[in-house]
C-alpha cells in the first residue's frame, strides 16, 4: 500500500458501511448521521460519531451533508477498451472482431498503453471506483502500464494479460507457451507489490486452444492464491461456437472445469445462460458469477438471474464491463442492474445495491477483509456522494424522507457528478 505519512485526520460526514448482506439480515449496516472516519497510515483507525472522535488540533475534512461510503469496487472491466466504449451496432462476437481486437492491437505500443492506463484510472477515480479487476491486452506491456499507474496512486488493483491464441486478429494472438511464460513473468514481477494482485486471464474458451487453457490451469495450480478471470455464457451465439470448439464438454462451464479453472477465486463474467448443472457446479466449487448489466443490455446478450444464483448459493458481483459496458459509473451500473432484474421479476433494493458495489464485490474478489467496508483496520478507500448533485436530483431530494430513498435516487440518477471526492488509502484522488 502507498504510505500515508500525514498526521491522523478526521473525515467527517454521514457515514454508511455494510457489515453484512441486507438480503440476509436486517442488521446489515452502520449509519452515522454525524459521523467521522479517523484515517492514519492509509487505513481506518476508527469510525464513529464525530463528537466522540474529534480532538483539538486534529486536522479535519468536513464533507457534510454528503454521504461517505466505501469506495466502489468493479470486478470485471477491460482496460484496453477505453476508446471503443460506445461503439455502435453489433452483438458480442461481431463487436469483438470489429472493435475490440483492432483496438487492443494498439497496446503493442508501450507509450500508448501508458497513456491509456493513466486515462483509465482517472476515469475510475472520477466515478468513485477505488479497486477494479481488469483485463489487459495480450501484450505484457499493457499490464506493466496498468500496474505502474495503479502503484503510483496506491490503488488496490487486480489485472492480467489476456491469454488468446486463436479466433482473433493475428496481432493479438500469443501461443500456449508464450501466454504461460509471459503471465508467469508478470506474476513474478508484480504480484504482492504494493496493493497489486495478478489475475490469471484466459480471455474465454473461443480464443484459447485446449493447450492454452491447460497452460492457464498450470498457472492456477502453481499459484492457487491468485484469482482467475474469464467469460462464461454471455451470448447464445457465443455458447454455440464455444461448444463446437469443445465437443467433448458437457456444457460451457465444463470446459473450464476440465482445465482446473473453477474455484472461489474464479470470476466468470456474465454467466447469463446457465444450465441447472452449471449453476450447481458453480455453487459446489465456489466459482463467482459477475453481473455486467450495461454490457448485457448494450450487446443484447440477455438477463442475469440474480435470485436464481443466490438461491443456489453462488456468490455474485456486479461490474461495469467497459467497453461493452456503457459507463464507468457503478451508480449507473446499479441503475441498469435494477432494470434488468425488474425484467426478470426480481427486485434490487437500494441497500442491497450499495452493499453489492462495496462489500459484496469485495467478497466476490476474496478481499472482504481488506476493502469494501469503513471499519478499523480496513484500507481507507472511500467515496463521498452528493444526492443533490444536479438540479433534477435536488428537486427530487425535496421529497425524500429516508436513507433508502436517498440511495435509490443516487442509484438511478447519479453518475460522476454525484461523486464529490474519492479517497485511496486516505488520500483525496478525484481530479480537480
- Mean pLDDT of all residues belonging to the chain: 96
Whether pLDDT at 162 is above 90: yes
* 229-249 pLDDT per residue, tens: 999 999 999 999 999 999 999
pLDDT of residue 5: 55
Joined together, the cell numbers standing for residue 4 give 500515508
- Helix residue spans in 313-373 (DSSP H): 330-343, 350-355, 361-364
Residues above pLDDT 90, as percent of the chain:
94
- 125 contacts 427 by C-beta, under 8 angstroms: no
pLDDT of residue 188: 98
**DSSP structure class, residue 7:** P
Whether pLDDT at 271 is above 60: yes
* 168-181 pLDDT per residue, tens: 999 999 999 999 99
The Cα–Cα gap between 213 and 217 comes to 6
| 286 exposure class (CB count in 10 Å sphere: 0-12, 13-18, 19+) | middle
Whether pLDDT at 2 is above 70: no
* 336-387 pLDDT per residue, tens: 999 999 999 999 999 999 999 999 999 999 999 999 999 999 999 999 999 9
pLDDT of residue 6: 66
| 89 exposure class (CB count in 10 Å sphere: 0-12, 13-18, 19+) | exposed
The stretch 34-44 carries a mean pLDDT of 98
The stretch 184-197 carries a mean pLDDT of 97
- Helix residue spans in 59-162 (DSSP H): 92-95, 101-105, 110-126, 140-153
pLDDT of residue 92: 81
Whether pLDDT at 4 is above 60: no
pLDDT of residue 1: 41
The Cα–Cα gap between 184 and 294 comes to 33
* 89-119 pLDDT per residue, tens: 788 888 888 999 999 999 999 999 999 999 9
- Regarding predicted confidence, which is higher, 5 or 117? 117
The Cα–Cα gap between 410 and 69 comes to 12
- 90 contacts 99 by C-beta, under 8 angstroms: yes
Joined together, the cell numbers standing for residue 410 give 443516487
- 74 contacts 358 by C-beta, under 8 angstroms: no
Q: Which residue has the cell 451496432?
A: 89
DSSP SS3 for 322: coil
Joined together, the cell numbers standing for residue 88 give 455502435
Handedness of CA 73, 79, 83, 84 (dihedral sign): negative
| 391 exposure class (CB count in 10 Å sphere: 0-12, 13-18, 19+) | exposed
Residues above pLDDT 70, as percent of the chain:
98
Torsion of CA 277, 280, 284, 287, to 10 degrees: 90
Torsion of CA 203, 133, 190, 181, to 10 degrees: -10
* 292-317 pLDDT per residue, tens: 999 999 999 999 999 999 999 999 99
The Cα–Cα gap between 44 and 21 comes to 21
* Three-state helix/strand/coil letters over 381-412: CEEEECCCCCHHHHHHHCCCCCHHHHHHHHHH
The stretch 245-273 carries a mean pLDDT of 98
pLDDT of residue 52: 97
Amino acid at each position: 500500500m502507498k504510505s500515508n505519512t500525514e498526521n491522523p485526520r478526521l473525515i467527517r460526514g454521514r457515514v454508511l458501511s455494510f457489515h453484512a448482506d441486507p438480503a440476509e439480515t436486517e442488521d446489515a449496516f452502520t449509519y452515522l448521521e454525524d459521523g467521522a472516519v479517523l484515517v492514519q497510515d492509509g487505513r481506518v483507525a476508527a469510525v464513529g460519531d464525530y463528537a466522540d472522535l474529534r480532538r483539538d488540533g486534529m486536522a479535519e475534512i468536513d464533507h457534510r451533508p454528503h454521504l461517505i461510503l466505501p469506495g466502489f469496487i468493479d470486478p470485471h472491466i477491460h482496460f484496453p477498451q477505453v476508446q471503443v466504449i460506445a461503439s455502435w451496432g453489433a452483438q458480442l462476437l461481431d463487436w469483438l472482431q470489429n472493435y475490440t481486437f483492432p483496438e487492443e492491437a494498439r497496446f503493442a505500443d508501450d507509450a500508448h498503453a501508458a497513456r491509456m492506463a493513466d486515462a483509465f484510472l482517472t476515469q475510475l477515480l472520477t466515478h468513485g471506483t477505488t479497486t477494479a479487476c481488469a483485463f489487459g491486452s495480450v501484450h505484457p506491456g499493457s499490464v506493466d502500464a496498468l500496474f505502474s499507474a495503479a502503484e503510483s496512486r496506491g490503488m488496490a488493483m487486480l489485472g492480467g494479460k489476456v491469454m488468446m491464441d486463436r479466433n482473433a486478429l493475428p496481432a493479438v494472438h500469443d501461443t500456449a507457451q508464450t501466454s504461460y511464460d509471459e503471465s508467469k513473468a508478470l506474476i513474478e514481477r508484480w504480484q504482492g507489490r504494493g496493493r497489486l494482485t495478478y489475475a490469471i486471464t484466459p480471455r474465454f474458451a473461443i480464443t484459447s486452444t485446449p493447450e492454452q487453457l491447460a497452460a492457464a490451469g498450470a498457472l492456477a495450480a502453481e499459484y492457487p492464491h491468485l484469482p482467475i478471470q474469464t467469460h462464461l455464457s454471455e451470448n447464445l451465439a457465443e455458447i454455440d461456437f464455444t461448444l463446437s470448439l469443445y465437443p467433448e464438454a458437457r456444457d460451457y462451464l465444463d470446459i473450464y472445469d476440465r482445465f482446473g479453472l473453477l474455484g472461489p477465486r474464479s470470476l466468470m463474467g456474465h454467466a447469463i445462460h446457465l444450465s441447472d448443472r452449471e449453476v450447481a457446479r458453480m455453487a459446489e466449487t465456489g466459482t463467482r458469477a459477475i453481473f455486467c448489466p450495461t454490457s448485457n443490455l448494450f450487446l443484447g446478450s440477455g438477463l442475469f438471474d440474480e435470485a436464481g444464483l443466490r438461491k443456489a448459493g453462488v456468490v455474485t458481483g456486479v461490474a461495469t464491463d467497459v467497453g461493452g459496458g456503457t459507463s464507468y459509473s457503478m451508480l449507473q451500473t446499479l441503475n441498469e442492474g435494477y432494470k434488468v432484474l425488474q425484467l426478470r421479476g426480481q427486485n434490487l433494493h437500494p441497500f442491497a445495491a450499495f452493499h453489492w458495489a462495496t462489500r459484496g464485490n469485495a467478497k466476490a474478489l476474496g478481499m472482504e477483509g481488506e476493502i469494501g467496508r469503513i471499519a478499523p483496520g480496513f484500507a481507507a478507500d472511500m467515496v463521498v456522494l452528493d444526492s443533490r448533485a444536479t438540479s433534477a436530483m435536488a428537486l427530487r431530494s425535496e421529497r425524500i424522507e429516508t436513507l433508502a430513498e436517498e440511495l435509490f435516487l443516487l442509484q438511478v440518477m447519479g453518475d460522476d457528478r454525484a461523486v464529490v471526492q474519492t479517497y485511496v488509502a486516505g488520500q483525496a484522488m478525484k481530479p480537480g
